Amino acid sequence: MFTWIQGIFIIFIETLCCKLFFEAFSVRRKEIKEEIRGIAILLLVVALFCVSLILKDNYLIKQIVVILLEAATMFLLMKLDLKRALILATMFTGLLLAVDYVTLLVILNCFPDMTVINGSYPVQSVLLIGLDKAILFLVILIIKKKVGKKSSNLLSDTEWLYFLVFPFFTIGIIITMLLNIRDIRNSYTENLLLMIALGLLGMNFYIFYLIDGILQRENTIRENEIFKLQAHNQMEMYRTISENFDKQRKKTHEFKNQILCMDALLNNEDYEELRKYMGTIMGGLKGEKNHINTNHVIVNAILNTKYQEAVEKKIVFVLKFNDLSKLILSDEDIVIILSNLLNNAIEACEKCSNKKIIKLKFVIEENNIILSVKNTYEKEVKYKEGRILTTKEKNEHEHGIGIRNTIDAIEKYGGSYAIKYEDHQFLFSIMIPNE
């Protein structure tokens, strides 16, 4: 009976580790409820236990069946194809065997008087297994942090180090128990130590999933806020485009009337009046606000809007652009990147007491999109763990989302960016392959 419980416990821990390993390389299927996910994991544990009993004398076939069962289950639970699921299941099996081998090798070399796992000390056997699985859990946590791109990366490196204290503490406690287990002759004390060790191991998984759940909710909140910010920026641009369209329609109507008027003056040979009338029209054209034309309607809308906003706030706006009609960026991503950068630049210049200058370069050169925004900025730019710390007091959270949202859009196209602050000038430079 004890052997069966021990076997189920081992397989359950390994299955949880397998799930964590897959989550480092893929994402969960959101359409599957958590209850169904839990049932699938339990069924996998039962299936793996049955396989270990039936094929205990045929190790190679057992490992193949285990890989197939893990791959099939994770294929149903995660967003990945069957081929990749098989590859990841094979990788996890290799990692599991490597950790088992290294852990056992280290224990036998460091503690040569230890009884092997299947020896005559069942408590020691379970402690050895607990130590092995705690190390496996720690290794997978490190892999998840280094490889994972989802909610786990919301924790900074320092926060992860704080979290990893608990697995290291568990490993230390189990090693201490193993060193002193021979001196304990009381079965009650042995069982108590065993329960403490298993409890600590279970708490590692509980704490991880507790933190992971919090991070998942935080990630959902962040995505909702990003969506709201995107929607706000897009609505502003669509409103501007709509206004420009209405203006253009009115101008077309005015031009027809002006042409008819000039035609009438020409037919009447009233050249002096015609000259005055044309002078009035030319003066109106010189005062035209929407004079930036990049051959891209969305870019035009943003640049003309932000240019007028800068002029009204007495900010010098210097632009350099070429034909942007072949931009591969989606309209939504153009709004995200360009609007966020110019909004931040204008807000920074507003706080400057002396020079207020924005320099924008937006060109396609050698099949690359080059976008840089440089603006004067009097306050010191602060960084923390590679992230910009905003000086805004009221909209700090929104500003951080805007910057992260911009970087996400850049990385979506395989682009790169650089941030530089020097001599009271802030530069955000972007290069994206236009292919």
Confidence of residue 372 (pLDDT cuts 50, 70, 90): very high
Q: Is the pLDDT of residue 189 over 90?
A: no
**Which residues contact residue 201 at a Cβ distance below 8 angstroms, ignoring those fewer than 6 apart?**
13, 130, 133, 134, 137, 170, 174
Reduce the DSSP state of residue 39 to 3 states and report it: helix
Tell me what pLDDT residue 395 has.
Answer: 47
Q: Region 370-378: what's the mean pLDDT?
A: 89
Q: Considering the chain, what is the average pLDDT of its residues?
A: 77
Q: Is the pLDDT of residue 368 over 50?
A: yes
Provide the residue ranges of all domains of the chain, joining segments of one domain with +.
Answer: 2-213, 291-433
Q: Tell me if 290 sits within 8 A of 251, measured CB to CB.
A: no
Domain 291-433 indexed as CATH 3.30.565.10: yes
Q: Is the pLDDT of residue 383 over 90?
A: no
- Is 197 or 296 the better-scoring residue by pLDDT? 296
* Cβ-count burial 113-125 (b if 16+ within 10 Å, e if not): ebeebeeebebbb
**Which residues contact residue 405 at a Cβ distance below 8 angstroms, ignoring those fewer than 6 apart?**
226, 229, 230, 336, 340
Q: Which of 160, 260, 269, 261 is nearest to 215 (CA)?
A: 160
**Which residues contact residue 343 at a Cβ distance below 8 angstroms, ignoring those fewer than 6 apart?**
306, 402
* Cβ-count burial 272-301 (b if 16+ within 10 Å, e if not): eebeeeeeeeeeeeeeeebebebebebbbb
Confidence of residue 113 (pLDDT cuts 50, 70, 90): low
Using one digit for the tens of pLDDT, what is the confidence trace for 55-92?
A: 878 888 988 999 999 999 999 988 888 888 999 899 88
Tell me what pLDDT residue 358 has.
Answer: 93
Q: Which two tokens stand for residue 138?
A: 């720690």
Tell me what pLDDT residue 398 has.
Answer: 46
Prediction pTM value: 0.51
Burial class (CB in 10 A: 0-12, 13-18, 19+), 1: exposed
Reduce the DSSP state of residue 371 to 3 states and report it: strand
Percent of the chain with pLDDT over 70: 72
Tell me what pLDDT residue 119 has.
Answer: 47
Using one digit for the tens of pLDDT, what is the confidence trace for 253-272?
A: 677 777 888 778 778 877 78
- Is 41 or 400 the better-scoring residue by pLDDT? 41
Using one digit for the tens of pLDDT, what is the confidence trace for 237-248?
A: 666 666 666 666
Residues across the chain: 435
Q: Region 197-208: what's the mean pLDDT?
A: 74
Q: Is the pLDDT of residue 234 over 80?
A: no
Q: Tell me if 321 sits within 8 A of 362, measured CB to CB.
A: yes
- Mean pLDDT lowest for which of 199-203, 283-287, 354-358? 283-287
